Amino acid sequence: MLETSALTKEFRGFRAVSEVDLAVEQGTVHALVGPNGAGKTTLFNLLTGFLTPTSGTIRFDGRDITGQQPEQIAHLGVARSFQITSLFDQMSVVDHVELALASPTGLGYRFWRSAGQMRRFRERAMALLGEVGLADRAGAYAGSLAYGQKRALELALALALDPKLLLLDEPTAGMGLEDVDRTIALVKKVSAGRTVVFVDHNMHVVGSLADTVTVLQSGKVLAQGTYDQVRTDERVVTAYLGQAG
Ligand SMILES: Nc1ncnc2c1ncn2[C@@H]1O[C@H](COP(=O)(O)OP(=O)(O)OP(=O)(O)O)[C@@H](O)[C@H]1O
């Protein structure tokens, strides 16, 4: 589904991502981990077209998408759920989802003229809210949601695009234990039959969700394999111990 080859991004000669080969099989959940500054966010930005690689290639679903714009990549079926919240406080939860459902049709940009037309997205919007556990908050303002619920809404917005590949940027960042476990269950549920790549610092989350794991350090792939394989890899243990102090 996704394959990078020698993918590299330099910032003024500094290699934030260096010769990364990544292969994500269709229908699997893949975690990107690594110490701070390892290049995870930069890699995500390359995959979604927010940054252009210095060299190397990205193939998605059988085509070369290297250097394509974020809108083109999104259109091909890559959706990203942002770490930084991108919700409108004064807009209702269900309106957010309807707008996301309408945007691929072009209707999203004319929503102020077509409130009636937006209603045809109501059923699908409610189904998506049900999927992420927010059906009972459909009428609430997004601004009134608890943090974990906002993250769930963002996930629903990404799912509204019916993506072939779902990218999750630190889905459990800033959450307490209870929300972390709820999010693990939620991501497990929505990842069934989908291809997911996520970044997370929490090893409990990585171990619970990931079929395969790529460990990055200083922009390079340090180890790749199942969670149990990388967890016991000496280089990985050393990299994390090095950060602990
Ligand atoms: N726009 C930029 N210009 C210059 N350097 C950058 C830029 N973006 C990232 N870097 C550098 O590239 C390296 C990798 O950063 P990146 O944010 O990708 O790491 P990360 O693994 O996501 O870290 P974290 O876990 O802290 O989010 C860092 O040293 C960072 O300072």
> What is the DSSP secondary-structure string of 141-191?
BGGGS-HHHHHHHHHHHHHTT--SEEEEE-TTTT--HHHHHHHHHHHHHHH
Helix (H, G, I), strand (E, B) or coil at 224: strand
Q: Is the pLDDT of residue 175 over 50?
A: yes
Q: Is the pLDDT of residue 24 over 90?
A: yes
Q: Can you tell me which atom of ligand 1 is nearest the CA of 43?
A: 18
Ligand 1 geometric centre to CA of 38 (Å): 7
| Residue, of 239 and 71, whose pLDDT is higher | 71
pTM assigned to the model: 0.89
- 190 in ligand 1 pocket by Cβ < 6 Å? no
Ligand 1 geometric centre to CA of 215 (Å): 15
- 37 in ligand 1 pocket by Cβ < 6 Å? yes
Ligand 1 geometric centre to CA of 243 (Å): 16
pLDDT at position 109, please? 54
Report the pLDDT averaged over residues 45-69. Answer: 96
Separation of alpha carbons 224 and 230, rounded Å: 6
CATH 3.40.50.970 for the 1-77+166-171+195-245 domain, yes or no: no
Q: Which of 184, 214, 167 is nearest to 31 (CA)?
A: 214
Mutate to test the pocket of ligand 1, among 17, 42, 46 (most ligand atoms within 8 A of CB): 42
- 39 in ligand 1 pocket by Cβ < 6 Å? yes
CA-nearest residue, atom 8 of ligand 1: 42
- Across all residues in the chain, what is the average pLDDT? 89
Q: Residue 76: exposed, middle, or buried by beta-carbon count in 10 A (0-12, 13-18, 19+)?
A: middle
pLDDT at position 245, please? 39
- 40 in ligand 1 pocket by Cβ < 6 Å? yes
Ligand 1 geometric centre to CA of 218 (Å): 10
Q: Please report, for the chain, the start and end positions of each structural domain, with discontinuous segments joined by +.
A: 1-77+166-171+195-245, 83-162
- Span 81-114, pLDDT tens digits: 865 557 899 999 999 999 888 876 655 555 555 6
pLDDT at position 80, please? 87
ipTM of the predicted assembly exceeds 0.85: yes
